[in-house]
Amino acid sequence: MTLTRRDLLERGAGLATLLAATAGGVRISFAQEGDEIRFGTLCPITRAGSIFGPGIQKGIELAAEDVNALGGIVGGKKIKLFSEDTQSDPDAGVRAAKKLIEVNHVQTLLGTWSSGVTMAIAPICIESKVVNMNVSGTTDLRNMDKKEYVWPVGGSNITYGKMMGEYAVKQGYKKCSFMAFNNPSGLTLGDEFKKVFEAAGGTCEIIVYNPNQPSYRAELTKALASKPEVIALGSYLPDTTIILKEAYALGEDVKWIGPIWAVSPALIQAVGADAAEGVVSIGAVPNDQSPAYASFKERYEKATGQPVMANPFAAMGYDMLAACALAAEMAKSGKAEDFHTKIRDVCSPDGKKVYSIKEALEAIRAGEAIDYEGVGGNMDFDLTGEAAPYFGYWVAENGELVFKGRIEA
Amino acid sequence: MSLRLFIQTIIDGISTGAIVALVAVGLSLVFRISRFVNVAHVDLATVGAYVTLLCATSLALPFGVAAAIGIVVVAVIGYLSYALIYRRLRHERAITLIIASVGVAFFLRYLVTFIWGSNQLAFDVPLLRAYRFGDFRISPYDLLIIATALAVFLVLHLVLRYSAFGRSLRAVSDNPSLARVAGVPTERVIGIMWFIGAGLAGVGGILLGIKAVLTPYLGWQLLLPAFAAVILGGVGSVGGTLAGALLIGIVGEIAAVYWLPTYRIAAVFGVIVVVLLLRPQGLFGTKAVAK
């Protein structure tokens, strides 16, 4: 086949039309990006964190709905969410973070849960000038220079240790043994617990144990040797299960306190109602005293069919998006580079206390200083950039963990 | 008080050692006949526990029946792993067989994770209070573990020492070629030994599952102590393995109670080093030759 000049012209024209159409398409998509603010969510939808991830994501979505229903932010721009799954895995988390940042051009990555994932994506967020809010507990996040881009709101191991200590002190316990899993989490919980407990006049001995043992009887013998009223645990589910089974066999009369990730419904299922009876679980709870809480609770439970208390991080997800949206409104910019330094300002305790996104936006537009109090926590960030949630306690009764109330610090 | 604590610690050490012994003895038997450390042995223990769980919960069989099925299934898997993999590699160097067994170990562990997930599971057995004998206490399950270990070792000892099969086994493990020439059905003896060794791993895994919780790493966490028990007791010696495992349990428990729990493993391996410096062939070992 020979190519005539006419053919060439026709084909060339076709190509030019195609190029023009594509260029037009690109222009349209840029135009859309200008009218919206792109926020990313990066929750653990599958694997280890899957008991929390979908709830966190739903919390974030409810907040985005609220902002958009109020007419948007930064001069009427709507928030558009792009969501990826961390798979509770640092490698998958980093891949998802890069996709959200490079392909979707998001300004935030909200809702990471696993400390490993958060530590892996934190440098990427700082480098790319994207805000991350997470519920990770590692104390490494406290010491990191986060440049006001990375914000832990779920309570660190330090906070958990302190709150377990506060609970023990309030119960009037004077003598305690603390069994600590030999890793940074267990040791931090033990140290913080001991500080609080001994400051209140009690004595506390820390027994550190190694993981993956078929038996913890010697450790238990040591913990019981000082005849404590209570044994506190800086532990995980498998070791806690074995320890409680062995303690039950011994029949010693001692109380137990542990963090919610170890003393969970799965623990009661594994050891049975008898061995678990009376064991106390300490964990973060939503801010049920916020006027906005009831409406959030109703919408969340209707949307998911899950009680909001079963996943305290869900309400924190709502606050993550709310804080970022309010900061963007205050900075008058939807770019994280501009609004990341305003996050602390909209949650600062010096301002007027506001509980809903609506009253917060109105106050910001009226030029007032505000202190956003969330439905998940009070979102007051300390010097290290960490917000401590509220804490509550549960007691195992007849095979169920029963919520008893908040622990006031 | 202190003497009471010391004796109690020894009792506790014996029950920890008994679990190690049940897993280690199969490792030792397989080593004796095939001359390599079968790393997958401990994962057979895991499979035994999970198959038992499946039979006891999903099929609602009585626990004893479920456990018997678990043990047989594991024994068959152990035999098949020999027949399909290790037999073909038997003329290779020991390191090739060890690497192959690492592969089998990973395969079994991830198969368990794939089927049952990585969250912990537990047998639905009642929790029982410890029996008290004067000042001392022992939990019924620990008693079961110790009794099972003693029974298994007694039977093994009698079989290996006095039965025709035991004689054949000793002949094959001492000199396979000579045994074959003398009319010993070498292949069959080795196959039966793999079957028994793997079944014993299943017994250990099920008892460990009763005592602890089921995770895909259930058996894996016993590899080091079990291997240490085999080395300490003298490679290939059944009585030595029992003695080695009990010593490991007791030393670990004493170190944890009187020193620091975190030094448990360090103390155990310190003792192993000292024993091997004094007796390189182990407590009961003869000078075994590995390929």
The string of pLDDT tens digits covering residues B161-191 is 899 999 998 888 888 888 888 888 888 999 9
User: Is-contact B74 B205, C-beta < 8 A?
Assistant: yes
Residue B283: the pLDDT is: 86
Mean pLDDT computed over every residue of chain B: 91
Strand A377-381 vs strand A370-372: parallel, antiparallel, or unpaired? unpaired
Length of chain B (residues): 291
Tokens of B43: 């994962």
Strand A400-407 vs strand A387-397: parallel, antiparallel, or unpaired? antiparallel
pTM above 0.90, yes or no: no
B79-90 mean pLDDT: 93
Q: Measured between alpha carbons, how far is B149 from B31 in angstroms, rounded to an integer?
A: 19
Confirm or reject contact between A224 and chain B (CB < 8 A).
no
Residue in B119, B212, B265 closest to A242 by CB: B212
User: Is-contact A379 A387, C-beta < 8 A?
Assistant: yes
Question: Position A234: which residue type?
Answer: G
- Bridge partners (DSSP) of residue A42 are A84
Residue B290: the pLDDT is: 47
Residue A7: the pLDDT is: 56
Higher pLDDT, B120 or A360: A360
Residue A26: the pLDDT is: 43
pLDDT averaged per 10 residues in sequence order, chain A, 409 residues:
52 48 43 78 89 94 97 96 94 96 97 94 97 94 94 94 96 97 91 97 95 89 94 93 93 92 90 94 94 96 92 95 97 97 94 96 96 94 93 96 90
Q: Tell me the C-alpha to C-alpha distance, in Å, between residue A23 and each of A13, A26, A33, A34.
A: 15, 5, 15, 17
Confirm or reject contact between A143 and chain B (CB < 8 A).
no
For chain B, state the CA radius of gyration: 19
Our CA-based measurement puts residue A268 at a distance from the nearest CA of chain B, in whole angstroms, of 11
**Residues 269..328 of A with a Cβ closer than 8 Å to B: which?**
269-272, 274-275
Residue B1: the pLDDT is: 52
Residue in B118, B213, B265 closest to A210 by CB: B265
Q: Provide CB contacts within 8 A for A37, sequence distance 6+.
A: A72, A73, A74, A77, A78, A79, A80, A107, A328, A334
Instruction: Read off the pLDDT band of B44 (50, 70, 90).
Output: very high
Chain B environment of A222 (Cβ under 8 Å): 256-257, 261
Residue B291: the pLDDT is: 42
CB atoms within 10 A of CB A157: 23
DSSP code for A77: B
Mutation site for B-interface testing, chosen from A213, A241, A263 by largest number of B Cβ within 10 Å? A213
- Bridge partners (DSSP) of residue A132 are A109, A150
Question: Position A83: which residue type?
Answer: S
Question: Position B103: which residue type?
Answer: G
Chain B environment of A249 (Cβ under 8 Å): 127-130, 139, 141
Residue A4: the pLDDT is: 55
The string of pLDDT tens digits covering residues B135-147 is 888 999 999 999 9
